[in-house]
A and B are shown apart, each in its own frame.
Chain A
Amino acid sequence: MGDDALLVQFDDAIAPQVNALVNALDIALGIADFDGILETVPSFRALLVIYEPEIISYSQLEIRIRTMLSGLGQRVETTNRLWTIPVSYGYPDGADLSEIAEITGLSQSGVVDASLADEYIVYFLGFLPGLPVLGRLPPELQLSRRASPRQGIPPNRLLIGGMQAFITPQTTATGYYILGQTPFRPYDRRANNPFVMRPGDRVRFRAISERELYQLNERPSIDFLTMDG
């Protein structure tokens, strides 16, 4: 793309196996630390490599990446980093939860149960500072965005739309639906480590009451991370 970026695209799918390859290449490039690579940016199925063409040419970079890709293999490594993210479902955005129930044909508790059933992975951080993009949602919870985005969606909201779930790092405009509120803060611009989640991390949700939400709001976000296995 342009004169200083190269986009490596893997299979055209939102899938953990595909994303694992993106992350594997990202890590391999990080370790190799080639002169002239300025930054690498992972997303669902592609890795963007921003480089200095004055130091490494497009063709040199392409050869290096191709060589690296052939050495990556297809084995998907899973991390032992598991987040258990507490969510107060429907609070304070109950209207959204009933809308989701209406659209999906599930009961409100059916929506909650569906979102709790599976484990998710962090596909990447993007769109906004520290915004984790989680996937994938169970098919019954996959719904299209609203026709027009709503302004002023607050931080710490668990949103769903398409195959993904998101946790808002700051106030934003979005067409996605709000499933609930979480004490987890994906981004804190004043912290030593402003971004706590990493691509490839595993995520589970845990339903909590409003009361527990207020209690947990005092806890640092890292408390929701465990190492299993």
Chain B
Amino acid sequence: MSFPCLRAVAPTPNMTIQDGGRQGWRRFGIPGAGPMDTMSFAIANALVGNRLSEPAIEFAYAGGEWVVEAASCRIAVAGGDFDLRIDDRPARAYRSIVVHRHQHLRLGSAPGRVWGYLAVAGGLDLPLEFGSCCTDARSVIGGQFVRPIAPNDAVPLQRDRASTEPERIANPPTESPGPLRITLGPQEDYFTRQALSAFLSEEFKVTWQQDRVAYRMEGPELTHAKGFNIISESVIPGCIQVPGSGMPIILMRDAGTNGGYPKIGTVITADLGRLAQCRPGSRVRFQAVGVEEAQAIRRQFLARMLLTTEAIAARRPQYQVH
């Protein structure tokens, strides 16, 4: 083997390649894919000095074991305080670190977190498919990685050797514990008045049925007033579909492009990553906001992402902006 790579000696399930996602292909039935937690993904890339949309490895709950097959490379882990060991010695998430050939990385779990990101300086050397190298296992699309990373897979690196430069450190981002903000509709009129009020006032629990396609929630039954079939229409990540069971299903990054259940609302961009990071059993509430407010929150979210990642990249002290 001659190309520099990270070799997955013991991958965990649902470990995939993600970049900024696919755009412009939904009309052909191809979802956008992309990181489940965009903020953490951007921080991982900023820590190693990459463009924010550079491909990185996404993992769920734990990041498995890797062996470095390059002279050296600079890596960083973000998404949570994941238990990182290099040759069995503890290392930290949220800081860049150079690892060398034959070194062994073990990525355990992070308290209360689901999705983590392993980024490599210079990026991954992967072919694009439909403009992106994101693994979309449901659609069987992704260039080299159309399925989750399997044992012994080699993830090719752009660089064979890490540059010499000071390391970067990030403050783990603190997330507001508030309700998940949603915009109502387009089918809020398919639900009874009681269902709408329960949806906006009661707690819902994240269940074990959570993956890159959808999160199934449990809570008060949301009763339909007009049946639970609509003429199928285009959906996006964040859409909250309510099938006949009355239990909401929130669509995530790999959800199919169309859905035939009434949508009571859509989780806004700023809160979708926050929902993604909720473990089963977590309790969430929904709060309705208007489109303009949703867009104001989105601007703040994008500004916070930019400020945070710029400060990391420039090795400046970081402040929490809320």
Please report which residues of chain A, range 87-135, place their CB below 8 angstroms from some CB of chain B when the two chains form the complex. Answer: 124-131
**For the complex, what is the distance from the CA of A61 to the CA of B238, rounded to whole Å?**
21
Instruction: Assess the B183–A1 pair: CB atoms within 8 A.
Output: yes
Name the one of B129, B139, B256, B263 contacting A1, with C-beta atoms under 8 angstroms. Answer: B263
- With a cutoff of 8 Å between Cβ atoms, the chain A residues found around residue B257 in the complex are 41, 126-127
Closest chain A CB from B29 CB (angstroms): 5
A53 touches B231 (CB 8 A): no
B residues less than 8 Å from A127 (CB atoms): 29, 232, 256-258
The answer, yes or no, to whether A184 is at the interface (CB within 8 Å) is: no
In the assembled complex, the Cα of A129 lies from the Cα of B257 at a distance in Å of 9
Whether the pair B29, A129 counts as a contact (CB closer than 8 A) is yes
Chain B positions within 8 Å of A54 at CB level: 299, 302
A46 close to chain B: CB less than 8 A: yes
How many Å from the CB of B27 to the closest CB on chain A? 5
B230 to chain A, nearest CB (A): 8
Name the contact of A12 in the complex, choosing from B185, B231, B299 (C-beta under 8 A). Answer: B231
B103 interface contact, C-beta 8 A: no
Answer yes or no: B128 CB below 8 A from chain A CBs. no
Q: Do the beta carbons of A5 and B236 come within 8 Å of each other?
A: yes
Question: Of B139, B234, B298, which one neighbours A53 at CB under 8 angstroms?
Answer: B298
The 8 A-B pairs with the shortest beta carbon distances in the complex, nearest first, are A48-B234, A2-B266, A3-B294, A126-B258, A41-B234, A46-B233, A53-B295, A1-B266
Q: Which residues of A contact B175 (CB under 8 A)?
A: none
Residues in A neighbouring B294, C-beta threshold 8 A = 2-3
A58 CB-CB contact with B under 8 Å: yes
- B236→A44 contact, CB < 8 A: no
Determine which of A12, A39, A46, A130 lies in contact with B29 in the assembled complex, contact meaning CB atoms within 8 Å: A130
A9 to B187, CA, bound (A): 11
B139 to A41, Cβ gap below 8 A? no
Smallest CB separation, B61 vs chain A (Å): 25
B26 within 8 A of A: yes
Contact indicator B139/A14 (Cβ below 8 Å): no
Q: Determine which of B28, B233, B238, B292 lies in contact with A7 in the assembled complex, contact meaning CB atoms within 8 Å.
A: B233
On whether the beta carbons of B29 and A45 are closer than 8 Å, the reply is: no
Q: Are A131 and B29 in contact (CB under 8 A)?
A: yes
Q: Does A57 sit within 8 A of B, measured CB to CB?
A: yes
B255 shortest CB reach to chain A, Å: 11
Residues of B within 8 A of A (CB): 23-30, 129, 139-141, 183, 185-186, 231-236, 238-239, 256-258, 263, 266-270, 291-292, 294-295, 297-299, 302
Decide: B269 and A9 in contact? CB cutoff 8 A.
no
B28 touches A48 (CB 8 A): no
Main secondary structure of the interface of A (DSSP, over half): loop
Please tell me if the beta carbons of B291 and A58 are within 8 angstroms of each other in the complex: yes
Q: In the complex, are the beta carbons of A43 and B233 less than 8 A apart?
A: yes
Can you identify 29 A-B contacts, CB atoms within 8 angstroms? A1-B183, A1-B236, A1-B239, A1-B266, A3-B295, A4-B298, A9-B233, A14-B231, A39-B24, A41-B234, A44-B233, A46-B233, A46-B234, A48-B26, A48-B234, A57-B295, A58-B295, A125-B28, A125-B29, A126-B256, A126-B258, A127-B29, A127-B257, A128-B256, A129-B29, A130-B28, A130-B29, A189-B140, A194-B28
Contacts of A1 in B (CB 8 A): 183, 185-186, 236, 238-239, 263, 266
Task: Looking at the assembled complex, report how far the CB atom of A131 sits from the nearest CB atom of chain B, in whole angstroms.
Answer: 5
Instruction: Give complex CA distance A3, B233 in Å.
Output: 18
Chain B residues with Cβ below 8 Å from A170 are 140
Q: How far does the alpha carbon of A194 sit from the alpha carbon of B29 in the complex, in Å?
A: 12
CA distance A109 to B205 in the complex (A): 51
Encode contact with B along A178-212: 1 for CB under 8 Å, 0 otherwise: 00000000010100001100000000000000000
- Contacting pair B30 A41 (CB below 8 A): no
Contact A128 to B29, CB < 8 A, known contacts A2-B267, A9-B186, A12-B231: yes
A86 within 8 A of B: no
Closest to A14 in B: B231
| Segment 159-190 of A: residues with Cβ below 8 Å from B | 169-170, 187, 189
| Contact (Cβ within 8 A) B183 A43 | no
12 extra interface residue pairs, beta carbon distance < 8 Å, beyond A7-B234, A128-B139: A1-B266, A3-B268, A4-B269, A9-B186, A41-B234, A42-B27, A45-B231, A54-B302, A125-B27, A126-B29, A126-B234, A187-B29
